[in-house]
Amino acid sequence: MRWFSARIAALSPQTLAWGAAAAALVIFAQAGIIGGSFLGGVEESGSTYQTASDGSASQAAAGPTALVSFQPSATAAAVEAALREAGAEIVGGPKPGGVFVIRVAGATTPDELEPSLKRLRGHADVVKFAAPGGQ
């Protein structure tokens, strides 16, 4: 520590001023970059916080929806077969947590979703989670 203090004390006042100005410039640039990453451009990059049940008005207008999460080992063919058997289709997602929004053809109330959700839950090797919601 004494070596460092001696080196700083040996510098001329003009050199110290230029060094302090350069350090301040680096600190302000760093603060701008960090602040910009937190405050600016978040919506453009799509990294805003969003709940899994967040949906748009167009989804709500077309009927009730449900949230479904699939097993990591499920193949696309197995997912497609389970959805087809339940009369459902994916209308949104993946959302946070790997959750998809589905809609069941012909369902007009959340209660009408339940038979299809039971069919999906019966495919435990494909479906991890299925519940009404997602509007």
| pLDDT for position 78 | 95
Summarised one tens digit per residue, pLDDT across range 83-131 is: 999 999 999 888 888 899 999 888 888 888 899 999 999 999 999 999 9
Residue 12 in this model has a pLDDT that exceeds 70: yes
Distance CA 121, CA 115 (A): 10
Does pTM top 0.85 for this prediction?
no
Distance CA 87, CA 78 (A): 14
Summarised one tens digit per residue, pLDDT across range 87-96 is: 999 998 888 8
Size of the chain, expressed as the number of residues it contains: 135
Q: Give the three-state DSSP class for 7.
A: helix
| pLDDT for position 43 | 53
Distance CA 128, CA 134 (A): 16
Split at pLDDT 50, 70, 90, the class of 60 is very low
